[in-house]
Amino acid sequence: MAAPRRDTRGIRRDTRGIVDPAELLSRVRFRRREPAPPLRPYLEHYWLIDWDLPQPYASHVVPHPSVNVVFQRFEGREPFGEVAGVGLGLFTQKLEGRGRVCGIQFRPGGFRPFAPEHAVTAWTGRRVRLTEASPTLPAPPTSPSSPASPAPPAPPAPPESISATILTPILAPDDEDARVTALDAFLLTLAPRPDPRVDLAMTLVDRIRTDRTIRHVGDFAQAQGMTVRALQRLFAAYVGVGPKWIILRYRIHEALEHAEASGPPDWATLAAELGYADQAHLVRDFTATVGVSPTGYARGLR
């Protein structure tokens, strides 16, 4: 099978998806780092966060259509790692005391080669602990709950089931180069399996992310020479969410970014640029996702 194309995009520098990024960056030390060359076709980046807070703080993120593997150390708790499937709603994390997170953000579609036995929809809306019971990534949970109604995070695993051989090299060093090296080593041992459909899925999501004219799934599928059903099956198997969901999610990311710019945004014009029928539809989607109206969010930032 053909290997995925060489990735030359570099690390993203935007703050898309982070709710009130200025506030977050004033409270934590946040960095993005590049993985080893063999991993770059599959990954967006590594992300490292350290904090030492006198008062608790809650961070909020509108997730990207990406799977993350996250290693976490919170004060007073055993460190742990988990697979976090694509988050369907606003993600909130309370930070207090001292702590550290080292995360791996896969490109949309890029996680499947590391866990090829399951469609990526099996992880959507779920967070699954890494344990010594599995030398590779754990299987997603099997339960009657639908991905549309995400299962709550798994309870903390007992300390003896956490692999110190993985967690210690990633979370212990203050030297972030050492942490990146450990993240590289962890992923390279999983030996991702090449799959030509991975490259197709990643390419199509990139087009949705960068091309504002893509507004309707039917038109997009036709432009790719695919039926809507074939496109939906591809995204379910390799991305974890459908193309319509991704179009809407990237619209909300852009709306957040405009709200954070200086000066009050022209929401009616932005709604038209993002392909909404009218401003009311943008307001509805933004409020449902972020929890506050666009105007209220922008006012809070000011």
Contact 78, 252 (CB under 8 A): no
Distance separating alpha carbons of residues 25 and 31, to the nearest angstrom:
10
pLDDT at res. 43: 97
The contacts of residue 118 (CB under 8 Å, 6+ apart) are 139, 140
Task: Indicate the domain borders of the chain.
Answer: 21-188, 196-301
pLDDT at res. 7: 46
pLDDT at res. 273: 85
Strands 91-106 and 80-84: unpaired
pLDDT at res. 157: 46
pLDDT at res. 139: 75
pLDDT at res. 40: 96
pLDDT at res. 31: 96
Strand stretches in 75-200, DSSP E: 80-84, 91-106, 127-129
Distance separating alpha carbons of residues 71 and 2, to the nearest angstrom:
31
pLDDT at res. 181: 97
Q: What is the CATH number of domain 196-301?
A: 1.10.10.60
**Residue 273 — φ and ψ, nearest 5°?**
-65, -35
Ordered mean pLDDT values, 10 residues apiece, the chain (302 residues) = 46 83 94 96 97 96 96 92 94 95 97 94 93 64 49 46 76 96 94 91 96 92 97 98 95 88 79 88 91 85 64
pLDDT at res. 118: 92
Hey, what are 100's tokens?
A: 């550290």
pLDDT at res. 161: 44
In 142-274, which ranges are continuous DSSP H helix? Answer: 164-171, 176-188, 196-210, 217-223, 228-238, 243-260, 267-273
pLDDT at res. 2: 39
